[in-house]
Amino acid sequence: MATTIRFTEVLNSNGIAVTGISYQERAISTDNFKWAYAGAGVATGSRFLEFYDADMGVERVCTITTASYDALTATTQTVTSGTVTGTLEDAPVGNNTAFYFNYENISLLFLSTTSTTGNARVEYVFKDKIYNFTVNVPPSGLNTLATTSNSLRVMSIPFPLNFINYNRTSINYPQASGTSGCIVSRKFVKSAQTFPAGDTNTSYAAIPGIVTEIKLDTPNNLVLASTAALNTVLT
């Protein structure tokens, strides 16, 4: 559910404090908010925010004030923070003791181990582009934010995801397990269905118990399968 986010942009600074520096306050929809992070390799205290500039029709990166950066979670209900814990493909490079992102843009977040804590792999979709990175926010922690009120119920209850492959499920490629192993954003759910145990008409016949299949409306058309019942995956 989109809301409005405000931040103060530092103009013509390139992250470096200069005499006569100027600022402008800007407000955007959270739908246009990509992420924000602390910078590295430039002036101490630099903070960057990436967003889609609807006026210009392009994605932009801007330097913002430290106060704006620190206030991101206080000014919107759809932005949360976590530390980027890996260097997978697309995570912004920076001093990411706090990395802010719009959790409605997460098509899939899952643990890469059987631990209920630790690093979580993220597939993030922004303006029809897929980004992959890891964060230290487990599915159960993010789900707490997503279910505190009806307006925020955009995520599923965390469920054990036992079979995952990009484009099609596979019993030979386990990526997440445990009772808090996975979260799927409702925003991207195309369809979901449960097959009876031992249904010989599907490719899941060899899997014990019922199988819930979820198709996501993402650029890679991700298909997931879980042995959890549909009403526990998408409440």
pLDDT in tens, 74-85: 766 788 888 887
Q: Where are the domains of the chain?
A: 1-76, 85-92+104-235
Q: From CA 219, how far away is CA 199, in angstroms rounded? A: 29
Nearest residue to 77 via CA among 29, 23, 136, 44: 29
Assign 3-class secondary structure to 123-172: EEEECCEEEEEEECCCHHHHHHHHCCCHHHCCECCCCCCCEEECCCCCCC
* Pairs from 161-168 (Cβ < 8 Å, separation ≥ 24): 161/110, 161/224, 161/225, 161/226, 162/225, 162/226, 162/227, 163/207, 163/224, 163/225, 163/226, 164/110, 164/224, 164/225, 165/223, 166/220, 166/222, 167/220, 167/221, 167/222, 167/223, 168/223
pLDDT digits (tens, 9 = 90+) for 109-162: 887 665 555 678 888 999 999 998 888 887 777 766 655 554 445 567 777 776
- Asked if the model's pLDDT at residue 2 lies above 80, the reply is no
Q: What pTM value is reported for the model?
A: 0.83
Q: Is 52 helix (H, G, I), strand (E, B) or coil?
A: strand
By mean pLDDT, which of 67-71, 114-118, 208-212 is the weakest? 114-118
Which range has the top average pLDDT, 8-22, 102-116, 163-177, 219-233? 219-233
